[in-house]
Amino acid sequence: MTGVSADTARAPRIVVLAGGVGGSKFVVGVRETARRRWPDTAGGTRAEITVVANTGDDLWLSGLRLQPDVDSMIYALAGVNDTERGWGRAGESERVAAELHAWGAGWPWFTLGDLDLGAHIARTGWLRDGATVTEVVDRLASRWPLGVRLLPMTDAEVDTHVTTDQGRMHFQEWWTRHRAALPAHGFDWPGIAHAEPAPGVREALAAADVILFAPSNPVVSLGPILAVPGIADAVRNASAAVVGVSPIIAGAPVRGMADACLAAVGLAATADAVGRHYGARAGGGLLDTWLLAEEDASLADGLESTGLRAPVHPLWMRDLDGAVALAAAALDSATLDSAALDSAALDSAALDSAALDSATTAQFAVDSASNGLAVHDLTQKS
């Protein structure tokens, strides 16, 4: 791989599919990596970063529209997030929540912070005025200089529901009230079969140089994004390198309760099972590369036999340095070798070890029926 001179080259177009806390931490790492590798003159980056956010976690509560993953992303990129709790605003107070509970309104197990409520009220007002979800997300994201373009996966309402032993309920009730401990048998997103990707999503994927799957919950964060008709195909057909980061390390989710979600759709909580679930593009799946944790190095050979590249890196994002190192490893794993691209920063040892040529990948092509991702299968336990 050879770099090209900075004055004729352009910085890469990076698209990240993301949801949840893991997704927002990873995107912060991608932004910082881009700032260091492709700096502009104003302290930002010349790279174009588009984040496609999960909106499957969204809900109506006390007459307000909540978008937890969109808000987590905005708060984290703005640096106003509560890093201990993992959701909501730092320095939050709960006076309104106490009043709601006293009135018997809302869900007693689901706390709406006072600062956070400002976002929900603003969003609901704009939606009631006729704005689309894309327009609302754009307005919310414009409050702070986030350094990325934030798009919802769709403008349609496709809130996740869970089928459990105690009936069907909204995802947030299962996740927050029951801490994902109620045995679940599947997830569904009413109306998603007729949803369309939000304006700009297909175009961003088609124009991307690299597409990154954040280490987000594969079932309820990236699952809904990929279940919006047209998005999985746009990833499959993209000219970009597609790199996923495992959210599972040594048989356990990095954070959250992804193991319960995986069990509900009949998948093991292993980096191997999730990598095979997404599948290699060489075999009709979605990924070229699946980044494994060092703890899972023994899985690499098996995954590579399915046509995936499976480089091994530290995957923990304990702080900004960890998130930057992970984002850098993900970008290094992409073969950004277009002559028009400023790839000078991509000639690291990690890149050299990770990047096999496409012929090598293609020779591992496997039967797409056994390996390709069937996102709609997530609706049922197999």
Q: Interface with ligand FO1 by CB under 6 A: which residues?
A: 20, 57, 66, 68-69, 71, 87-88, 110-112, 116, 172, 175-176
Rounded to a whole number of angstroms, the distance between the first and last alpha carbons of the chain is 43
The CB-of-113 to ligand FO1 minimum distance in angstroms stands at: 7
Which of 66, 366 has the CB closer to ligand FO1? 66
**Closer residue to ligand FO1 in complex, CB, 110/316:** 110
Sign of CA pseudo-dihedral 325, 331, 337, 342: negative
Give the separation between CA 20 and CA 245, rounded to whole angstroms. 14
The conformational region for residue 86 under phi > 0 = left, psi -120 to 50 = alpha, else beta, is left
Q: If you ran DSSP here, which 8-state letter would residue 12 be given? A: P
The count of C-alpha atoms lying within 13 angstroms of the C-alpha of 331, restricted to the half-sphere facing its C-beta, is: 34
For ligand FO1, the closer CB: 67 or 306:
67
Per DSSP, 147 falls in state: S
The backbone torsions φ and ψ at residue 316, rounded to the nearest 5 degrees and listed phi first, read: -70, 135
Nearer to ligand FO1, 9 or 222 (CB): 222
Amino acid, single-letter form, for residue 110 = F
Q: Least distance to ligand FO1 from the beta carbon of 86, Å?
A: 7
Which residue is at the shortest CB distance from ligand FO1?
68
Q: How far is the CB of 178 from ligand FO1 (least distance, A)?
A: 11
Phi-psi category of residue 371: left, alpha or beta, with phi > 0 → left and psi -120 to 50 → alpha: alpha
Cβ closer to ligand FO1: 4 or 80? 80
Q: How far is the CB of 68 from ligand FO1 (least distance, A)?
A: 3
Q: How far is the CB of 351 from ligand FO1 (least distance, A)?
A: 32
Task: Give the nearer residue to ligand FO1 in terms of CB position, either 61 or 268.
Answer: 61
Shortest Cβ distance from residue 56 to ligand FO1 (Å)? 9
